[in-house]
């Protein structure tokens, strides 16, 4: 071991190195999880709240315990990187002809940003303290939010996300598992009190109870993880949210202590802060990949993304007008977006065609939509697409 006995403790040295690399929060936890985290995950899976995210159930056993994932692990170093916005993330929701992309996805893919820093920190820990290490950034069966709370970085709020005193709701998390025995920090304690703003802010009522999330109703899940057709009951509440949703994070009172993120790689790209729906709807696969190169949006693929765009186009008149999700013809949206939706009626993707129909049912006067349906319905063989015409 190269560290001198009279020098700083391993924890202090690691914390100092992590902060010098640009991390904003550092904490230390044992390589175990408490009963609350274990019980919470088991209930989440048993209720089917994970939806399409089968990987959560597939590796439940190792997710429940860091030392099951890696038996040699004795400690977990948890780091946080602030990505706080410099504006109200919800303001874009009133610009109905533009799309709302979650704050975290407006810059470079955070996986790459965190991994680059974590690799340097991991090498430092391994070389300085002769320890084995493994790093994780949201890519392995790691319960990062309970670990962050155990490491004293913050606490899981009623919306199930991490809240920190100094950073509000805006921290990316990464972990280093290590064989090095480090004294744990004092675990974070809950400071939500009687506040329930995050729960009441959810547009789709995705919280069956405080601290419990039904991902199947969450707009972030629906726009990112869900691969299929989005149920009608969720489309109008989605508004113009085309990738993720920040509502439950943005309304948290602890954000009064939040600071603007300083990492240049996480700074929002100007073209992703308020993109025009008409421009996005015109993207073919090659253009989509090019436009979102280096962005987390790229991973959902063009078809799912355009599905989301068309729902936003259907809502371009605001959430208060038009029908309640059916296909009766609403004339409640921005008529200037009709060509963008009409151009996608012949798209190769059934996801896209179905949502083009739904968008037009919201944009066109009832008689015009009925006339369009009469000329188009016989072309469709896909059941879900025919259902959007109201003809199945």
Q: Is 138 a catalytic residue?
A: yes
Catalytic residue among 52, 67, 138, 185: 138
Distances (CA, A) of 368 to 13, 362, 374: 69, 11, 10
- Other beta carbons within 10 angstroms of residue 325's beta carbon come to 17
Residue 389 CA to its chain's centroid (Å): 31
Known catalytic residues are 138
């Amino acid at each position: 071991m190269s560290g001198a006995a009279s020098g700083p403790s391993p924890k202090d040295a690691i914390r100092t190195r992590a902060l010098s690399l640009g991390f904003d929060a550092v904490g230390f936890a044992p390589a175990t999880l408490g009963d609350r985290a274990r019980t919470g995950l088991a209930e989440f899976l048993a209720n089917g709240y994970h939806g399409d995210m089968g990987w959560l159930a597939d590796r439940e056993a190792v997710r429940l315990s860091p030392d099951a994932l890696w038996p040699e692990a004795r400690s977990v170093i948890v780091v946080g990187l602030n990505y706080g916005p410099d504006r109200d993330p919800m303001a874009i929701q009133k610009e109905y002809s533009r799309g709302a992309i979650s704050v975290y996805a407006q810059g470079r893919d955070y996986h790459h940003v965190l991994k680059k820093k974590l690799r340097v920190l991991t090498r430092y820990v391994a070389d300085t303290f002769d320890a084995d290490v493994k790093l994780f950034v949201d890519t392995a069966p790691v319960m990062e939010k309970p670990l962050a709370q155990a490491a004293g970085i913050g606490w899981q709020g009623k919306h199930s996300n991490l809240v920190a005193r100094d950073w509000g709701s805006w921290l990316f998390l990464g972990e280093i598992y290590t064989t090095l025995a480090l004294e744990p920090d004092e675990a974070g304690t809950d400071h939500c009190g009687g506040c329930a703003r995050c729960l009441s802010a959810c547009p789709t009522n995705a919280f069956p109870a405080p601290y419990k999330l039904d991902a199947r109703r969450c707009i972030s899940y629906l726009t990112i993880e869900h691969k299929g057709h989005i149920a009608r009951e969720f489309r109008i509440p989605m508004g113009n949210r085309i990738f993720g949703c920040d509502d439950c994070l943005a309304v948290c009172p602890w954000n009064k202590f939040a600071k603007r993120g300083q990492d240049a790689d996480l700074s929002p790209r100007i073209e992703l802060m308020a993109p025009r729906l008409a421009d996005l709807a015109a993207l073919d696969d090659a253009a989509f990949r090019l436009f979102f190169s280096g962005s987390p949006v790229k991973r959902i693929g063009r078809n799912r993304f355009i599905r989301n765009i068309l729902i936003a186009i259907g809502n371009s008149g605001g959430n208060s007008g038009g029908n309640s999700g059916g296909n009766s013809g609403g004339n409640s949206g921005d008529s200037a977006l009709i060509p963008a939706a009409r151009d996608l009626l012949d798209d190769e993707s059934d996801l896209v065609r179905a949502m083009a129909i739904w968008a037009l049912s919201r944009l066109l006067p009832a008689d015009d939509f009925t006339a369009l349906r009469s000329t188009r319905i016989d072309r469709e063989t896909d059941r879900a697409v025919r259902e959007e015409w109201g003809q199945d």
